[in-house]
Chain A
Amino acid sequence: MTTIESHPSRTPTRRRSVARAARKYCGSPMAVAGYCILLILVVVALMPGQLAPYDPHAQNVARALEGPSGEHLLGLDQYGRDILSRLMHGARVSLAVGLLAVSMALVVGIPLGIAAGYFGGWVETAIMWVVDVMLSIPGIILALLFVALFGSGVVNMSIAIAIGFVPTFARLSHSPTLSYRQREFVQGSIAFGGRSLWVMRRHIWPNLRSQMLIIGCLTAGTTIRIEAGLSFLGLGVAPPTATWGGMLRDGMLYLQSVPLYSIVAGLAIFSAIVAFNLIGDGLRDILDPRTPERPVG
């Protein structure tokens, strides 16, 4: 029997493809910008206590609504609290809720979608029926209802927002599962004696993974926006905890006299959403399932 000649490359290819992916990130300045913004936000959110110049709750009513100065770079709010410090502390709530909500929605929605597509029959009918019903109710209404019923801590807010995205992720993982279900490598695995859980975990999930990561990343921007929206409506994490949405609303009252207040809060929300969108787009470029080894650039 013939033996086909090999190139002398025995090194596991994972390390090389990581290097290649990194090169590709650098090739896309927008994605790099997204990572930089996110990195700053995450560092700030992890240790606002060390980085913020002032205590976000320390009031100085006498100097309320004072403009920017060398002492207070972004000025003071209506209670004389340092706006920059409050923004930095607000990052924690926004990022925590945004990421937690996406994670929960992914963890619940994807298995539901895969199970529906894989098993078909009544399992599919039941899951997709519930999904359709949930999709017909606007997510923000579900979130409002949940917060109204159970209160608005970080975890509750995350659950409230996640509920609205579970049907989306179930849908998005359902249809590719249907097509992978018919592919020969899935049929083969079943023929070799692979159990359902094995086939779903080893064959279907790895092929959905990158798509779901991209969608999850893009959705994180949306969940942060919804969190800000709930806080804006006064349904977010309760004051005096600093939240970007809450600051945006407070600033609205002084839009004529101190526009900077609302503007910086809005910019903070904007930067987080943009960061996740840029990263999502960058991931889409590098995680295409058919190009992990093809030479890049």
Chain B
Amino acid sequence: MSPPTELVRVEDLQVHFQAGRARPGETIRAVDGVSFSLTAGQTFALVGESGCGKSSVARSLVGLNRPTAGHIWFGDIDLATANRRQLRQVRRNVQIVFQDPYASLNPRMRVRDIVEEPLRVQGIARPPRVAEELLELVGLNPDYVYRYPHQFSGGQRQRIGIARALALRPRILVLDEPISALDVSIQAQIINVLMDIQQELGLAYLLISHDVSVVRSVSDAVGVMYLGKIVEAGADVLDHPGHPYTQALLSAVPSTDPRLRGTESEIVLEGDVPDPAHPPSACRFRTRCWKAADRCAEDEPALVDRLGRGGRTACHFAERLHTTVNG
């Protein structure tokens, strides 16, 4: 990641929420020290199960959550301390595609108004056929601009959502579970649209997903999140997992090779994800980890390169586990 193409640098991001009235005074540590950077033309993916804080990271990046601590650098603007004008400026460059294409389009607006909305709210002049061009860019018939969202299928709606996100010609696109609400048959289409657009426009993607196989096929680098922290990150962590949690995640993905069925040892984690208001001390995964030792409760493993392969792993026993499973 050479400095000139680095578009966003997230440093030790923390997003905490005050718990509701039922649990007064408690702090939910949704994101608790996450760092990564986004590079033009590349996809960085955050994977993890629901509730691990990956969507909170995405929302912080588009300015929907204020970071509690840490920094989100867009050039020399830090979202954590940005004023209103700077925030608006950043928002021109970072756009978001939401998970649920049924909830993310206002049912009362025509496609033209939906797609042109970012231009309007930013006060940018709208060329006469901008909506049509955006629809073409995502593979929709430009004649659809007069229709309402409910006249479209889920996949078409998601294309409209992508067209809207591209209206401002952003440099960074945050994809918050962009395909998980779609039929499996449509998912590949949407992924292809996104990949084509990335190539064409050189966008940096932050892909939020819990679908390990999709992430593996499209991302250039991956961060595996667990309970608000990245436990493992790197280009090939999904092919050569070093962290026990990554291994558990991967073993839950069904194999596409029938000959391998039944031969793979599936790792089934016990218990639930701990309460993010009271995370375990030191290593957060130790309560469900089959390798946990006394050391894990006292000495938090740093996210560093432990395997000498360019990735970073936050586990004291990363090396050994790596060799055990992947041989």
**A residues touching B (Cβ–Cβ < 8 Å)?**
1-6, 10-13, 183-185, 187-195, 198, 202-203, 206-207, 209, 289-290, 292-293
Contacts and interface: CB of A to CB of B under 8 A. Distances in A.
A187 B64 contact: yes
A209 B193 CA distance: 36
B61 to A, nearest CB: 9
Contacts of B105: 185
In this complex, the member of B63, B121, B146 whose beta carbon has the largest number of chain A beta carbons within 10 angstroms is B121
B143 A6 contact: yes
Nearest to B141: A6
B117 A2 contact: no
A-B pairs, 8 with minimum CB distance: A1-B139, A184-B104, A206-B108, A192-B118, A194-B121, A191-B62, A6-B141, A193-B91
Nearest to B87: A193
B103 A183 contact: yes
B196 A198 contact: no
A185 B147 contact: no
In this complex, the member of B59, B63, B104 whose beta carbon has the largest number of chain A beta carbons within 10 angstroms is B104
A203 B105 CA distance: 10
5 contacts: A184-B104, A185-B106, A188-B98, A193-B88, A289-B108
Given A184-B104, A293-B151, 20 more contacts: A1-B193, A2-B189, A4-B139, A4-B156, A6-B143, A185-B103, A187-B98, A189-B121, A190-B64, A191-B62, A191-B95, A192-B117, A192-B168, A193-B122, A198-B121, A202-B117, A203-B106, A206-B106, A207-B106, A289-B108
B144 interface: yes
Contacts of A10: 143, 146
B150 interface: yes
A28 to B, nearest CB: 23
Interface of B: 59, 62-64, 87-88, 91-92, 95-96, 98-100, 103-109, 117-118, 121-122, 136, 138-141, 143-144, 146-148, 150-151, 156, 164, 168, 189, 192-193, 196
Contacts of A2: 139, 189
A10 B142 CA distance: 10
Nearest to A187: B64
B141 A12 contact: no
Contacts of B91: 191-193
B107 A193 contact: no
Given A3-B140, A184-B104, A207-B106, A13 B146 contact: yes
A1 B196 contact: yes
A176 to B, nearest CB: 13
Contacts of B196: 1
A285 to B, nearest CB: 18
Contacts of A185: 103-106
B122 A3 contact: no
Contacts of B99: 184
Contacts of A198: 121
Contacts of B96: 188, 191
Contact of B98 (A1, A11, A184): A184
A12 B144 CA distance: 10
Contacts of B164: 188, 192
